[in-house]
Amino acid sequence: MATLKVGLVSPEREIWSGEAKMVVAQTVEGSLGILPGHAPVLGVLLDGSVVKIEPADGGEPITAMVGSGFFSVAADEVSVLAEQAELSDEVDVSEARRELEEALGGDDATAERRARARLRAAGIEA
Protein backbone atom coordinates (compact mmCIF):
# COMPACT_ATOMS: atom_id res chain seq x y z
CA MET A 1 0.00 0.00 0.00
CA ALA A 2 1.15 3.45 -0.83
CA THR A 3 2.16 5.57 2.09
CA LEU A 4 2.65 9.26 2.68
CA LYS A 5 6.02 10.74 3.46
CA VAL A 6 5.32 13.15 6.24
CA GLY A 7 7.46 15.89 7.72
CA LEU A 8 6.29 18.07 10.59
CA VAL A 9 8.70 20.96 10.93
CA SER A 10 9.00 24.16 12.89
CA PRO A 11 11.56 26.84 11.99
CA GLU A 12 13.87 25.64 14.74
CA ARG A 13 13.81 21.91 14.17
CA GLU A 14 12.18 18.93 12.52
CA ILE A 15 9.58 17.67 14.95
CA TRP A 16 8.53 14.44 13.35
CA SER A 17 9.15 12.73 10.05
CA GLY A 18 8.34 9.34 8.67
CA GLU A 19 5.84 7.26 6.72
CA ALA A 20 2.15 7.57 7.42
CA LYS A 21 -1.20 6.16 6.31
CA MET A 22 -3.18 9.29 6.92
CA VAL A 23 -2.75 12.87 8.03
CA VAL A 24 -5.57 15.00 9.39
CA ALA A 25 -5.05 18.74 9.57
CA GLN A 26 -7.37 21.62 10.32
CA THR A 27 -7.57 24.54 7.96
CA VAL A 28 -9.41 27.75 8.59
CA GLU A 29 -12.36 26.20 6.75
CA GLY A 30 -12.45 22.83 8.45
CA SER A 31 -10.72 19.49 8.83
CA LEU A 32 -8.90 17.96 5.93
CA GLY A 33 -7.91 14.30 5.83
CA ILE A 34 -5.09 13.37 3.50
CA LEU A 35 -4.66 9.84 2.18
CA PRO A 36 -2.06 8.60 -0.29
CA GLY A 37 -2.80 9.78 -3.81
CA HIS A 38 -4.23 13.10 -2.71
CA ALA A 39 -4.14 15.96 -5.21
CA PRO A 40 -1.52 18.65 -4.55
CA VAL A 41 -2.83 21.06 -1.94
CA LEU A 42 -1.37 24.01 -0.14
CA GLY A 43 -3.44 24.89 2.88
CA VAL A 44 -3.38 27.40 5.67
CA LEU A 45 -3.50 25.82 9.12
CA LEU A 46 -5.91 27.04 11.73
CA ASP A 47 -3.77 28.81 14.31
CA GLY A 48 -4.12 26.67 17.40
CA SER A 49 -5.25 23.34 16.04
CA VAL A 50 -4.26 19.69 16.19
CA VAL A 51 -2.58 17.70 13.44
CA LYS A 52 -3.04 13.94 13.62
CA ILE A 53 -0.70 11.57 11.86
CA GLU A 54 -1.35 7.82 11.59
CA PRO A 55 2.00 6.11 11.15
CA ALA A 56 2.31 3.50 8.40
CA ASP A 57 3.62 0.87 10.80
CA GLY A 58 0.27 0.85 12.55
CA GLY A 59 1.57 2.42 15.75
CA GLU A 60 -0.25 4.86 17.95
CA PRO A 61 -1.43 7.95 16.09
CA ILE A 62 0.77 10.98 16.60
CA THR A 63 -0.92 14.18 17.61
CA ALA A 64 0.67 17.57 17.68
CA MET A 65 -0.45 21.06 18.48
CA VAL A 66 0.34 23.58 15.77
CA GLY A 67 0.29 27.34 15.75
CA SER A 68 0.32 29.59 12.74
CA GLY A 69 1.53 27.79 9.63
CA PHE A 70 0.60 25.87 6.53
CA PHE A 71 0.85 22.43 4.96
CA SER A 72 1.58 21.24 1.48
CA VAL A 73 0.73 17.97 -0.18
CA ALA A 74 2.46 16.92 -3.40
CA ALA A 75 3.22 13.49 -4.85
CA ASP A 76 2.45 11.68 -1.57
CA GLU A 77 4.69 14.00 0.36
CA VAL A 78 3.09 15.95 3.15
CA SER A 79 4.92 18.80 4.86
CA VAL A 80 3.39 20.56 7.79
CA LEU A 81 5.15 23.81 8.60
CA ALA A 82 4.18 25.61 11.76
CA GLU A 83 5.79 28.44 13.64
CA GLN A 84 4.85 26.76 16.88
CA ALA A 85 4.48 23.01 17.10
CA GLU A 86 4.51 20.56 19.97
CA LEU A 87 4.11 16.81 19.99
CA SER A 88 1.56 15.38 22.40
CA ASP A 89 4.18 14.06 24.81
CA GLU A 90 5.99 17.40 24.87
CA VAL A 91 2.96 19.31 26.08
CA ASP A 92 3.21 20.52 29.64
CA VAL A 93 -0.37 19.89 30.71
CA SER A 94 -0.41 22.04 33.84
CA GLU A 95 1.24 24.86 31.92
CA ALA A 96 -1.33 24.57 29.13
CA ARG A 97 -4.16 24.57 31.68
CA ARG A 98 -2.79 27.73 33.23
CA GLU A 99 -2.51 29.34 29.80
CA LEU A 100 -6.07 28.38 28.98
CA GLU A 101 -7.30 29.99 32.17
CA GLU A 102 -5.34 33.13 31.40
CA ALA A 103 -6.69 33.19 27.86
CA LEU A 104 -10.25 32.73 29.11
CA GLY A 105 -9.79 35.78 31.29
CA GLY A 106 -8.66 37.91 28.37
CA ASP A 107 -10.20 38.15 24.94
CA ASP A 108 -7.38 36.72 22.85
CA ALA A 109 -9.13 34.07 20.79
CA THR A 110 -5.90 32.76 19.29
CA ALA A 111 -4.28 32.21 22.68
CA GLU A 112 -7.38 30.39 23.86
CA ARG A 113 -7.45 28.18 20.77
CA ARG A 114 -3.75 27.43 21.13
CA ALA A 115 -4.10 26.45 24.78
CA ARG A 116 -7.08 24.22 23.95
CA ALA A 117 -5.17 22.66 21.07
CA ARG A 118 -2.25 21.88 23.35
CA LEU A 119 -4.54 20.12 25.78
CA ARG A 120 -6.30 18.30 22.99
CA ALA A 121 -2.96 17.19 21.53
CA ALA A 122 -2.09 15.80 24.95
CA GLY A 123 -5.33 13.83 24.89
CA ILE A 124 -7.32 15.92 27.32
CA GLU A 125 -10.64 17.43 26.34
CA ALA A 126 -11.00 21.02 27.46
Partner 1 sequence: MPAQLRQLRQQIKTVKSTAKITRAQEMIATSRIVKAQQAVAASKPYADQITQALSALVSHHVGVDHPLLHEQPTDNRSAVLIVTSDRGFCGAYNANVIREAEALIRSLREAGREPVPYVVGNKGITWYRFRGREVAETWHGFSDRPTFASAERIGQRLTEDFLKTDAEGGVGEIHVVYTEFVSMLTQSVQVRRLMPLEITEGETGKVAPAYEFEPSAQAALDLLLPNYVESRIYHMLLQSAASFQASVRRAMKSATDNANELLGVYTRQMNQARQAAITQEISEIVGGADALAESGGE
Residues near partner 1 (CB under 8 A)? 7, 9-14, 27-29, 32, 39-44, 68-70, 72, 74-75, 79, 81, 83
Decide whether 72 or 110 has the Cβ nearer to partner 1. 72
Which phi and psi angles does 72 have, rounded to 5°? -130, 140
Q: At 109, is the secondary structure helix, strand, or coil?
A: helix
CB of 82 to partner 1, least distance (A): 9
Measure the CA–CA gap between 96 and 99, rounded to whole angstroms.
Answer: 5
Decide whether 70 or 124 has the Cβ nearer to partner 1. 70
CB of 50 to partner 1, least distance (A): 17
Decide whether 29 or 107 has the Cβ nearer to partner 1. 29
Measure the CA–CA gap between 33 and 27, rounded to whole angstroms.
Answer: 10
Q: Whats the size of the chain, residue-wise?
A: 126
CB of 17 to partner 1, least distance (A): 8
Tell me which H or E stretch contains 16.
Answer: strand 14-27
